[in-house]
Amino acid sequence: MAALKADKAELVLLGKIYKETVFFIIMKPIYKLIKQKTYCCFPACISMILDRRKIRHAPQEEIGYYLGLIVPKEKAHLFTKVRTGRKPPAGYGTRVGKKKYSINNYFSKNKIKLKAKYYPLEKIISVKKFITEYLKNNNDIIVLFNNKKLFGTGNYGHTSLIHNIKNDIITLIDPKLPRKRKVKLSKLICTIKSHGKKKGGGFYLVSG
């Protein structure tokens, strides 16, 4: 399950030394990095979750098809089975907001005993507490945000996994690179707001 470590950080103020406990929450076992295929950040995150939980699964392209993956016609040759068509309001990629393409529908059809729940920012009182509590309980958290606002390139929605939280610093597992990336919690929240609830911005909790 998630590990909870207490580090001692020393603060010097007016000649006196004060000690403050710094909590560090990290997923255990850790994620095995998977590089996403084009438009497959969500399926890649699901793949890493299933790997961490030692659940056998199909390739990310097939997971993407269950999740409603749609791409431009000029990108169809990159896939063996994919939908093409008009660009959805949230952009090309998966459409997990639709019931028939939901994460739970994928789990159900493939007899995977996990459940997913979407949490927009509007339903979370304290994001820091939300992340801390769910990681402690060994739940996986996918976060959907505006990539350009967080990383500086690509004005589109992107998903990553939350690997750990230390004070106000979040370590994400970014399937695009793939590698770990540290971001400030306040900045992550702003980029989720920028993407918006209508486009699915927020947190997707997977438990089981």
Q: Is the C-alpha dihedral spanning 31, 35, 41, 47 positive or negative?
A: negative
Task: Please say if the pLDDT value at position 1 is more than 70.
Answer: no
For the stretch 112-134, pLDDT in tens is 999 999 999 999 999 999 999 99
Task: Please say if the pLDDT value at position 69 is more than 80.
Answer: yes
Instruction: State the average pLDDT for the chain.
Output: 90
Among 133, 99, 137, 132, smallest CA distance to 118 is for 99
The C-alpha atoms of residue 145 and residue 154 are separated, in whole angstroms, by 11
Task: pLDDT band for 23, please (50, 70, 90 cuts).
Answer: low
Task: Please say if the pLDDT value at position 47 is more than 50.
Answer: yes
The C-alpha atoms of residue 70 and residue 66 are separated, in whole angstroms, by 11
The pLDDT of 24-28, averaged and rounded, is: 82
Task: pLDDT band for 96, please (50, 70, 90 cuts).
Answer: very high
pLDDT at 12: 33
- The pTM score is 0.89
CATH number of 32-207: 3.90.70.30
pLDDT at 63: 98
Please say whether the beta carbons of 68 and 91 come within 8 A: no
For the stretch 156-197, pLDDT in tens is 999 999 999 999 999 999 999 999 999 999 999 999 999 999
Task: Please say if the pLDDT value at position 5 is more than 70.
Answer: no
